[in-house]
Amino acid sequence: MTTADAPPAPESHTFEADVAKLLHLMVHSVYSDKDVFLRELISNAADACEKLRYEAIANPALLGDDPKPRITLLTDTENRRLTIQDNGIGMSRDEMIEALGTIARSGTKAFMERIQAAQGGEGAQLIGQFGVGFYSAFMVADRVDVVSRRAGSDEATIWSSDGKGSYTVAPIALDEAPARGTRVVLHLLEDAASYTERYRLERIVKEQSGHVPVPIAIIEKPGAEPQEVADGAALWAKPRSEITPEDYTDFYRSVAGQFDEPALTVHFRAEGRHEYTALAFVPGSTPFDLFDPDRHGRMKLYVKRVFITDEAEILPRYLRFVRGLVDSADLPLNVSREMIQESPLLAAIKKGVTSRILSELEKLVQNDAEAYTKVWEAFGPVLKEGLYEDFERRSTLLGLARFKTTASGGGWRSLKDYVGSLKESQTAIYYVTGTDLARLEASPQLEGFRARGIEVLLLPDAVDSFWVTAGIDYEGKPLKSVTQGAADLALIPLTEAKQELDTNATEAVARFIQSVKETLGASVADVRASERLTESAVCLVASETGMDRQLERLLARAGQLGSAAKPVLEINPRHDLVLALANLGDAEQPLREDAAHLLLDEARILDGELPGDAKAFSQRLTRVMRRGMP
């Protein structure tokens, strides 16, 4: 062979720094259940077969004389090798570099932070949630070779790496590559040699991948006949009576890429004007990228069992945690992505599947309140997005919503529970928003409500500040913020324990409040006596027509607010400090002025803010402390 005829030398590439670190962590740190690698590689192979079926709709020549999809596991005990091969779409050289050389699109940093914190078997639940399934092969192999030939191409490529920082890519002769598809060769570590044993592979396949829609066969040694271990029958196409809970769980794990148990399984067939089958799962644990703004739903779209896309918006964003698929008999097989986006049929499917999932959640509330509570704890903040976005289903979502309240004792309450315990003359459902449940429970604005036994919803999620502004009411009762406008509590009597506090403000207190207003000037919108305070001296609230203070803070941080509105300072006319300040003589005017500013800063601190002017605050505090010294 001449120099000109020699094959090109392999190109060497270095993994991104984050990827190299991630591989080290995966191999050495967290994964106790190494079986997960096989499920991930089989899942990748099944996806490749489904993608070929879809592309072959427009280009049947891609199938050639080999139209049936298959996945084959080939064991070689003597050489300690395990091969996973498919006859799917395959990859070109550039596709291999993009898919296997980088995982930048998979949330590498977030994944590594989670993987470093994980311990024991929890690691098995992490794979699949960040698109790093392929790299799990390095848990059991000291080298991985990937040979691939894209369907319809006359070129084949080999990718090889030891997972320690670099990989090589080189062309390979066609007679050494599959006719099409991908071959993943694992050079197994010594302690992973048992993965060449048929019984172990068959057990793992049946437990974790038995319901992928592609047949799976095992070849025990080179030259032997393949023996089928999974028939590739679509689980969703079977009657529900023929499917066991274990079958559903196995399928959920394969489609969701998780190792937990589904909290809810929804499987139904729609007939009539539109015909389709849906199989959806509510996960039993929270995906780590649930609040990623770029995260989309994980529902796959099939047409007559042919995979079309996993990017169709089958469910609204507030149900993006649901995993599963829809198989339509009515959409054309050659449907394009543009047609999907504009399809009235898909709109009907979206409406039907969304309504069914919410209906099943309502049934779960009735039949297993404890199980539903776990669903709400995992996905409540996301479901509440629907209260703001989905007017059509708002009533249903309000019925599903659960809240911590001042009367819940740490448990969860529904709006039905709340309305059922309204006080006489109470005309609204009261709430307080914030970022921390403990801080909300200690809010001074709640004191007057507690003193009257009025329940208040505690809303610590960011989305709460938005949906409560959407003009929502429940059974005719509007939602009202306890930190906005007047408290309107005069018609509701104090409880017996607080009755002695219900005294009229004296004329001296009224004059003091007026002087505080004059002293603070433009720093506040108003200063007034408070109905809502019973223990604290002061608090800040928004004006009746102003924006809720927590929403105002969120918009300010997001740069969507020009200038914040001036707050209203409420003063407790029955507080010992206020009474003492009100009775000071005219000679103590400087102290009155210092006290006015300090009361405002105290209210700011109670509201989770900093004093308006730290230096002035320190100077005033110093003067007041010196005055109190002998």
Q: Based on the number of CB atoms within 10 Å of its own CB, is 7 exposed (0-12), middle (13-18) or buried (19 or more)? A: exposed
Alpha carbons 238 and 235: distance in angstroms, whole number: 6
Residue 334 marked ligand-binding: no
Reported as type and span, the H/E element at residue 406 is none
Distant-in-sequence, close-in-space partners of 516: CB < 8 Å, separation ≥ 6? 527, 569, 571, 596, 599
242 φ/ψ sector (left φ>0, alpha ψ -120 to 50, else beta): alpha
Alpha carbons 31 and 207: distance in angstroms, whole number: 18
Residue type, 244: T
The tokens describing 514, both together, are 């007026």
Residue 521 marked ligand-binding: no
Alpha carbons 454 and 314: distance in angstroms, whole number: 42
Residue 121 marked ligand-binding: no
Alpha carbons 157 and 501: distance in angstroms, whole number: 83
Q: Based on the number of CB atoms within 10 Å of its own CB, is 92 exposed (0-12), middle (13-18) or buried (19 or more)? A: middle
Residue 403 marked ligand-binding: no
Residue 399 marked ligand-binding: no
559 φ/ψ sector (left φ>0, alpha ψ -120 to 50, else beta): left
Distant-in-sequence, close-in-space partners of 156: CB < 8 Å, separation ≥ 6? 147, 148, 149, 171, 172, 173, 174, 176, 177, 178
C-alpha distances in angstroms, 335 versus 55, 345, 612?
11, 12, 60
Residue 11 marked ligand-binding: no
Residue 231 marked ligand-binding: no
Residue 295 marked ligand-binding: no
Q: Based on the number of CB atoms within 10 Å of its own CB, is 241 exposed (0-12), middle (13-18) or buried (19 or more)? A: exposed
Residue 309 marked ligand-binding: no
Residue 552 marked ligand-binding: no
Residue 366 marked ligand-binding: no
CA 413 to mean position of chain CA atoms: 22
Residue 249 marked ligand-binding: no
Q: Based on the number of CB atoms within 10 Å of its own CB, is 253 exposed (0-12), middle (13-18) or buried (19 or more)? A: buried
Alpha carbons 304 and 385: distance in angstroms, whole number: 33
Residue type, 52: L
Q: Which of 551, 450, 536, 542 has the alpha carbon at shortest distance from 492?
A: 450
Residue 132 marked ligand-binding: yes
Query: Is 399 in a helix, a strand, or coil?
Result: helix
Summarize the annotated binding site as residue ranges: 40, 44, 86, 91, 106-107, 129-134, 182, 337
Summarize the annotated binding site for ATP as residue ranges: 40, 44, 86, 91, 106-107, 129-134, 182, 337
